[in-house]
Amino acid sequence: MTARLINGAEVAAQIREELKGRVKACIARGVTPMLNVVLVGEDPASISYVTSKAKGAEEVGMREETVRLPANTAEAELLKVIDGMNRDAKVHGILVQLPLPASIGEKKVLDHILPSKDVDGFHPMNVGKLLIGEPDFMPCTPHGVQQLLVRSGNNPEGKHVVICGRSNIVGKPLAAILVQKKKGANATVTMCHTGTRDVSKYTLQADILVAAMGVPKAITADMVRPGTVVIDVGVNRIVDPSRKTGFRLVGDVDFDAVKEKASFITPVPGGVGPMTVTMLLVNTVRAAERKAGVVSAD
């Protein structure tokens, strides 16, 4: 059996169409949703992410402004930039692109963003709200994974979801999202990590397997039961001299082999990636809707 592809670009386009109407409703009430992005330094992957965020915002009719700062920017300077955005009533969402240069304290910076403008969902207040089942802004990648599952006909309700990876950006919040007693969630969740003995023992019991450990092709075919839904969150650059860029992207799943066992699988690129940016736009529109007095659709 060859798996059916879950096309992230298609699902993302569908959500962006929905967002266009929500943006128009905000504008009709005098509020144009506005996202501010901060990029420190010139990491090529970060530049590429920031560019796609700006393009996505423009596509749905929002305003977007990217502030680019040199890599040697002092932490205090960055905090001042965030202060300005926190105070600016026209700004609804603030995102500081990670990773930051080593000289800047990541936690200090993320904690400095007002929770009401934290469209990344990384502020401890938003993390805590998610954990107690009162989510406000949910982190974009795991929220995107949930939407991909639901909208591809693979609702996680009652399913056993095995997540490989316990990062604060993906693994942990995804577990928190999928165990909620809510529609589109209500799953049984197992989390595997570097301390797990015999990872295969768990992955072979998964109805839905999520790979988010940041290790190229770590999930091999022998770790997957026939019929599993496989979601690959990994984005790894590996050297490929045959490409103009000199690299290509591979996921955390050995795609060619695993697709022969899975029922559904996300490709890399074109799977989870387009969803992350889209869920950022969703969060920004939510923040603007709150300002405009519109009841959110999500």
Catalytic residue numbers, as ranges: 53, 97, 120
Query: Contact between 127 and ligand GUN (CB under 6 A)?
Result: no
Backbone angles phi, psi at 264, to 5 degrees: -135, 150
Q: Are residues 26 and 289 in contact, defined by beta-carbon separation less than 8 angstroms?
A: yes
Q: Contact letters (x/-) for ligand GUN, 273-292, by CB under 6 A?
A: ---x----------------
Query: How many residues bind to ligand GUN according to rule CB under 6 A?
Result: 10
User: In terms of CB distance, is 203 or 283 closer to ligand GUN?
Assistant: 283
Residue that the structure tokens 């996300």 belong to: 266
Q: Which of 79, 98, 199, 215 binds ligand GUN (CB under 6 A)?
A: 98
Q: How far is the CB of 227 from ligand GUN (least distance, A)?
A: 31
Q: How far is the CB of 127 from ligand GUN (least distance, A)?
A: 14
User: In terms of CB distance, is 106 or 294 closer to ligand GUN?
Assistant: 106
- Piece in contact with ligand GUN (CB under 6 A), picked from 9-17, 55-63, 89-97, 149-157: 89-97
Q: How far is the CB of 111 from ligand GUN (least distance, A)?
A: 13
| DSSP structure string for the chain | --PEE--HHHHHHHHHHHHHHHHHHHHHTT---EEEEEEES--HHHHHHHHHHHHHHHHTT-EEEEEEE-TT--HHHHHHHHHHHHH-TT--EEEE-SSPPTTS-HHHHHHHS-GGGBTT--SHHHHHHHHTT--SSPPHHHHHHHHHHHHTT---TT-EEEEE---TTTHHHHHHHHTSSSTT---EEEEE-TT-S-HHHHHTT-SEEEE-S--TT-B-GGG--TT-EEEE---EEEE-TTSTTSEEEE-SB-HHHHTTT-SEE--TTTSSHHHHHHHHHHHHHHHHHHHHTPPP--
Cβ-Cβ contacts under 8 Å for 195 (sequence gap 6 or more): none
Query: Contact between 96 and ligand GUN (CB under 6 A)?
Result: yes
Query: Contact between 95 and ligand GUN (CB under 6 A)?
Result: yes
Query: Contact between 147 and ligand GUN (CB under 6 A)?
Result: no
- In the range 28-67, which residues lie near ligand GUN by CB under 6 A? 49
User: In terms of CB distance, is 203 or 278 closer to ligand GUN?
Assistant: 278
User: In terms of CB distance, is 103 or 168 closer to ligand GUN?
Assistant: 168
CA distance linking residue 208 with residue 160, whole number of Å? 6
User: In terms of CB distance, is 61 or 142 closer to ligand GUN?
Assistant: 142
Q: Are residues 232 and 255 in contact, defined by beta-carbon separation less than 8 angstroms?
A: yes
Q: How far is the CB of 98 from ligand GUN (least distance, A)?
A: 4
User: In terms of CB distance, is 185 or 235 closer to ligand GUN?
Assistant: 235
Q: How far is the CB of 141 from ligand GUN (least distance, A)?
A: 6
- Piece in contact with ligand GUN (CB under 6 A), picked from 21-29, 73-81, 96-104, 176-184: 96-104
Structure tokens at 263: 């029922």
Query: Contact between 120 and ligand GUN (CB under 6 A)?
Result: yes
- Piece in contact with ligand GUN (CB under 6 A), picked from 90-98, 125-133, 182-190, 238-246: 90-98
Residues that bind ligand GUN (CB under 6 A): 49, 95-98, 120, 140-141, 169, 276
